[in-house]
Chains A and B, each alone.
Chain A
């Protein structure tokens, strides 16, 4: 306490001012030390020993202590320390083991005062007693620490650490007789200056050398140590056993550590290698530095707070031959730059979000919204209430499930699994898929399928009488439209999606409006809606509203009520075909060019006219004509597919593409198709829908896609004669010059299925062998074996 008040008095009235600045030194610095007046700093190195005055705007060289024509090794400094009570007293540790004291009060140019040549190797550290003017302590590479009384010619006492080299010695600020020393082997020792025979206490602080230590300026028991293990540890020495209270991990070995004045939990560090920056850490937040000074271009070798009671000025010297004054307010704060949030859109439309908890806490108390259907999952770390500390951060990690419709992907999986893409007639496929879509609440898609069925399939199944209802109340034009608009199926409430999608004038938006709830909207919007929309809406409204009824009328559709459709068998053949023609659509063709075109197909034709009144005319016209080739719509259908793809529903695009097959394929360029296929296949694989993905690959007509299934399957063939591996191509073995796999019956090479007897290993074409076995049970090769085939 005594010392403290004296310092304060000494510097009482002065207020430190300055700015972030640096000056160039002639040589790399090894250590720096500040005079107690906080206006001068000494820089020492192998070939530099200078005192600089710290002025407002710059450093000014004040004194060069390296004098003499041929500077001796005594001037090659490893460390320097300025006495905190005597402005004229300095001590340096030389690399040759000499401890030198300097008296700036000497009138001559050479300020060298005393020379202690007791250490045998480099002295790493010198330290003045904080309150005793004449006591100097040194620690050396030779493993000894020596205490000098500056009034005597040699050391007062020698302390042997009994371990390796001494890296640092520091007098305790509060305990008059105590000092700490750190060692190359990771130990820290506590000594009583009066008892040189053995240390008071010893413990292993670090893994590897402990390069530095610093006593806390206020807290009596705290000692910070820094080591090559890249850690700074704070020890409470007041307890019976040294207790580690904090541990800060840095990214490089810690060369110096200095507690920050007036900030109980802060300390500054610099590294011995790799990292050139000076960091200030809050020991309670051991992972991110509180502040960082990035001025130096080479390793920082010395750091010192300019004034023992001012936390904002830090001085540093570096191997890059500069001396810097850092202002705390100019420091970069990595915490500020750090991203406090993590966000990820999951596969299933769920959202993972991690946010800084302090931010979250401020927002609590908000009322949750009613009708919330999402289910957040919390990952949370509670703040420790025992230590309220603003800088301490933790994050809450939540996963949000998004309600179906807006983002959840469960519809995708269900749809992919349940869609039928081949193996039945087009009408059945469309109906099945429409049903699947409807059951999943995707009315827009369901309607599209129904419409496709109407466009492309054999008509006559839909009774025309059904179509000649007038439009419901919503009809603003008042014209007798042929479709009734049934409101009963309109979903309660509008999904957000629907609202986004409505009222776009062009043809493509027609498909959007197919959403059941959307159909409600155009009802009121008819006047503004462009003509082409109107008939479509009604057409689709009709389909949506009445198709249950339709199915009831139509016995052929009775089966579509079956609960779940199993994927067609041919999706999983034992041996996949190499040809890439889709097996599906071929047998559907005949239905498509049926002679009779129904009223419903004629309805669809009304998509084309531009005005609602026209639509009626054209419809009736179409009804009379009753022959519109399905080709007529293909441009429209292609537009629709593109629309779905653009909306991210590539599933729909691909499914329709497969189901319709040749009908639309030629109208969409190969490249787009390929892109859709690859996107869809990729999505399916992400959802682990391997079977569906395989089916899509098989059904695709694009060569680039269908060869996907042929990739990465390797067959290794061995020659049947010499048993060696066959070359990659050809049927002749390279080694024995004979054809492998000859048919024993016809003596030709078997390409394709080869059956053989496991007993004698002869065989051949399936048909040949079967035929042979009808007449004889002996091997056709003539080996005499009684062949057995199962």
Chain B
């Protein structure tokens, strides 16, 4: 076997549904059907189990790390309709908050950019999206968007705090008036963009329609020097779209088909500089995509986790063979 550095047992007893690295890339949180959330220290290529968080009563679908300025905070959501916010204090992890405001499985959690404070968006199979805002002293305020997606919401992803155009007319030095936005994907095959109104209510801003089956994941690209807002979405229909919005008003989004896979595409994930997109599909492969100068998305490598072998620059032809 090639270059397998280490083999470690995550000791998860069932399928792993999500793995997330923290802000500094030093810790990895995994969650599984076995109802547990585990935190590993992955510094210097090691894998040390630092915490095994038990508290959910069903499969845990997704985990999300909060920005470290708030401390070590991890949110997890589960089939048991609960969202648990875990906090590390003096080396021990404890349940800081439990949110049980959903009527069905909670499928996705995502922390807002740290600039807004601690805000967590949760998408559930009951079709609603709830937003938990930390108001201090262990209190969380809940806002709920009912019927955000009929049948259910599968993914939520926040827009970066700095949206091009949002700083216009802001005298520098003042705290910019952020417009909070996030994207959600659901079983209605839609991607929806939500915006917080001035009165604090969340309003549907856009409906992006291109997928022909459940949207499985949406990922708003980090805004690193990019002039446009970019969202990647993937679906049960095997297609991955890149949505871009160039105009300052943020109303015109155009989709570009990245690729049509032969199987469900489960996840899309941006590199921190937003120039590479990792896509994982039902064929159990991860492919990395990069936009070429002429605006085409090209597969630059694919990762087969089957044996950890990774091929560089697999061409279209090779890919289809596999």
Contact = CB atoms under 8 A, between A and B. Distances in A.
Chains A and B form a bound pair: yes
A374 B19 contact: no
Given A287-B13, A348-B25, A501-B293, A402 B288 contact: yes
B309 A368 contact: yes
A496 B276 CA distance: 12
Contacts of A504: 293-294
B43 to A, nearest CB: 11
B272 A409 contact: yes
20 contacts: A249-B35, A251-B79, A288-B58, A338-B33, A342-B267, A352-B20, A359-B282, A367-B309, A369-B311, A374-B3, A376-B308, A377-B6, A377-B45, A378-B308, A393-B14, A399-B42, A400-B305, A674-B167, A679-B162, A704-B172
Given A347-B272, A378-B7, A678-B162, A368 B288 contact: no
A396 B305 contact: yes
A629 to B, nearest CB: 28
Contacts of B72: none
Given A288-B58, A288-B79, A376-B5, 4 more contacts: A339-B266, A377-B47, A394-B15, A395-B16
A345 B270 contact: yes
Interface in A380-419: 380-382, 392-400, 402-403, 406-407, 409
B274 interface: yes
A353 B280 contact: yes
Interface string A312-339: 0000000000000000000000100011
Interface in B263-314: 266-276, 278, 280, 282, 284, 286, 288, 290-294, 298, 300-301, 303-313
Contacts of B200: none
A647 interface: yes
Contacts of A648: 224-226, 271, 273-275
Most buried by A among B12, B13, B312: B312
A341 interface: yes
Which 7 pairs from chain A and chain B are nearest by CB? A645-B225, A347-B25, A648-B273, A376-B308, A648-B275, A395-B16, A368-B309
Interface string A624-643: 00000000000000000010
Interface string B213-229: 00010000001111100
A364 B80 contact: no
Contacts of B30: 342, 354, 379, 397
A375 interface: yes
A500 B167 contact: no
A528 to B, nearest CB: 13
Interface string A676-719: 10110001001110000000000000111001000000000000
Main secondary structure of the interface of B (DSSP, over half): loop
B89 interface: no
Most buried by B among A359, A380, A394: A394
A285 B18 contact: no
Contact of B273 (A250, A381, A649): A649
Contacts of A707: 173
Contact of B284 (A349, A355, A397, A642): A355
Given A366-B309, A372-B310, A345 B33 contact: no
A400 B303 contact: yes
A350 B21 CA distance: 10
A407 B288 contact: yes
A648 B9 CA distance: 35
Nearest to B306: A363
A534 B286 CA distance: 38
A340 interface: yes
Contacts of A403: 312
A509 B293 contact: yes
B28 interface: yes
B19 A354 contact: yes
A360 B292 contact: no
Nearest to A676: B225
Contacts of A132: none
Contact of B80 (A251, A671, A683, A702): A251
Interface of B: 1-21, 23-25, 28, 30-35, 40, 42, 45, 47, 57-59, 61, 79-81, 105, 162, 164, 167-168, 172-174, 176, 216, 223-227, 266-276, 278, 280, 282, 284, 286, 288, 290-294, 298, 300-301, 303-313, 322
A438 interface: no
B172 A340 contact: no
A393 to B, nearest CB: 4
Given A287-B58, A338-B17, A342-B267, A380 B288 contact: no
Given A249-B35, A354-B16, A354-B30, A338 B61 contact: yes
Interface string A99-130: 00000000000000000000000000000000
A379 B288 contact: no
Nearest to A494: B313
Contact of B267 (A341, A359, A381): A341
A407 B313 CA distance: 13
Given A354-B18, A379-B8, A703 B307 contact: no
Contacts of A287: 13-14, 32-35, 58-59
A512 B276 CA distance: 17
A346 B271 CA distance: 7
A379 B29 CA distance: 13
A371 interface: yes
Contacts of A338: 15, 17, 33, 59, 61
B18 A342 contact: yes
Interface string A492-518: 000011001111100001001000000
A644 interface: yes
B10 A702 contact: no
A395 B15 contact: yes
A291 interface: no
A356 B1 CA distance: 20
A520 interface: no
Contacts of A676: 225
A146 interface: no
Given A347-B272, A648-B273, A251 B15 contact: no
Contact of A671 (B167, B278, B304): B167
A397 B35 CA distance: 17
Contacts of B305: 353, 355, 360, 376, 396, 398, 400
Given A378-B8, A509-B293, A398 B308 contact: yes
Most buried by B among A349, A381, A645, A687: A381
A347 B14 contact: no
A351 interface: yes
Contact of A342 (B16, B172, B224, B293): B16
Interface string A608-637: 000000000000000000000000000000
B286 A353 contact: yes
A639 to B, nearest CB: 12
Contact of A376 (B4, B81, B162): B4
A77 interface: no
A376 B310 contact: yes
B94 to A, nearest CB: 21
A270 to B, nearest CB: 16
A504 B295 CA distance: 10
B79 A334 contact: yes
Contacts of B35: 249, 287
Nearest to A354: B16
A368 B167 contact: no
A500 B290 contact: yes
B81 A251 contact: yes
Contacts of A273: none
A343 B57 contact: no
A344 interface: yes
A399 B29 CA distance: 12
A468 B322 CA distance: 52
Contact of A369 (B4, B40, B312): B312
B225 to A, nearest CB: 3
B304 A366 contact: yes
A144 B3 CA distance: 67
